[in-house]
Amino acid sequence: MNTPAERAVDSYRPRAAWARTESRPTTPRLLSPALDGAAHVAEFPCGPGHFLSTYAKAEVRVRLIDASWPMLTAAARHARDSGVAELAVECDFLHQLPALDDDLVVVPNAALNQLAAQDPLPPVLTHLRRAVNPGTRLLLQYLAGEASGAGCGFYTPALADSHTVVDHHIHTPDGTEVIRHRRQHHTPERDQVNIEFTYTVNNRPVRTTRVHLALPTAAQVQAALTATGWATTHAHTRAGFREVLATAGNSR
């Protein structure tokens, strides 16, 4: 395991079996305007799949992309169960994304924060820009560094560092009840956070995993979008997440 991206992706392998139950996505308010007129949608990195029922209702072709095969397998099953009729699945890292002919690319559930912890934001957004055609829409759902209060299902800005909370009861497909414990550590500048999840069964720890997130401010994301050829059309904050809808300009 060499690069931060490879290590991050590998950390999801043991989580894939119950990732669909573990994930509690918040549907972005901007998803509906983003889907307006779209026929082909890509979700990247999709993890276990996020807004699949909404895509199914919109009757769009869905392309699920992630560098983890176990997560893609879970996502593909999730898509079928959600009624997605036309599905494509691709196993790619960000830096290897193929040319995408989709009308909309959705980067869900703080995935941007994870990508930006592997590489600075401008290269991350440049990889996305190079993969798509001019006019393609990009919907980012991320955690902004200045966020306070509510947070989301896996991050609480106000939680004191090192303080452990029980934040999730997971019922795995084989009927086991897994309890997820979470604690977090910020960098002194609070521009990055490491979140540690420990899973217990019958009060015994069975696994610990860590997620490393960058916490860029909304202004930093905006500046990086502009610098890499994206024009923002809408922005919104919902349930701890910042949402941005942008369109690819002509130059790559």
Ligand X SMILES: C[S@@+](CC[C@H](N)C(=O)[O-])C[C@H]1O[C@@H](n2cnc3c(N)ncnc32)[C@H](O)[C@@H]1O
The whole-angstrom separation of Cα 242 and Cα 188 is: 22
Q: Is 15 helix (H, G, I), strand (E, B) or coil?
A: helix
Burial (Cβ within 10 Å: 0-12, 13-18, ≥19) of residue 63 = buried
**By CB under 6 A, residue 111 contacts ligand X:** yes
Residue 109 interacts with ligand X (CB under 6 A)? yes
* List 34, 94, 104, 224, residue binding ligand X (CB under 6 A): 94
Q: Kindly indicate which of the ranges 3-11, 128-136, 173-181, 184-192 contains the residues binding ligand X, using the contact rule CB under 6 A.
A: 3-11
Of 45 and 145, which has the nearer Cβ to ligand X? 45
Please tell me whether residue 93 binds ligand X under the rule CB under 6 A.
yes
Please report where in the chains the tokens 């176990």 appear, as a residue. Answer: 70
Residue 71, H or E segment: helix 69-81
Shortest distance in whole angstroms from residue 122 CB to ligand X: 15
Structural element, H or E, at residue 52: helix 52-58
Q: Which of 154, 199, 230, 241 binds ligand X (CB under 6 A)?
A: 154
Residue 66 binds to ligand X (criterion: CB under 6 A) = yes
For the bound state, the minimum distance from the C-beta of residue 37 to ligand X, rounded and expressed in Å, comes to: 25
Structure token pair of residue 229:
């050829």
Number of residues that this document lists for the chain? 252
Q: Which region, judged by CB under 6 A, interacts with ligand X, from 7-15, 78-86, 221-229, 243-251?
A: 7-15
Which residue lies nearer to ligand X by CB, 167 or 233? 167
The number of residues that bind ligand X (CB under 6 A) is 22
Does residue 114 interact with ligand X by CB under 6 A? Answer: yes
CA–CA distance, 138 with 230 (Å, rounded to integer): 8
Q: Cis omega (within 30 of 0) on the bond before 33?
A: no
C-alpha closest to that of 213 among 111, 68, 128, 138:
111
Q: Which of 28, 45, 49, 229 binds ligand X (CB under 6 A)?
A: 45
For residue 152, the 8-state DSSP code is B
**170/233 with CB nearer ligand X:** 170
Contact residues toward ligand X (CB under 6 A) are: 5, 8-9, 12, 23, 45, 47, 66-68, 71, 93-94, 108-111, 114-115, 118, 154, 211
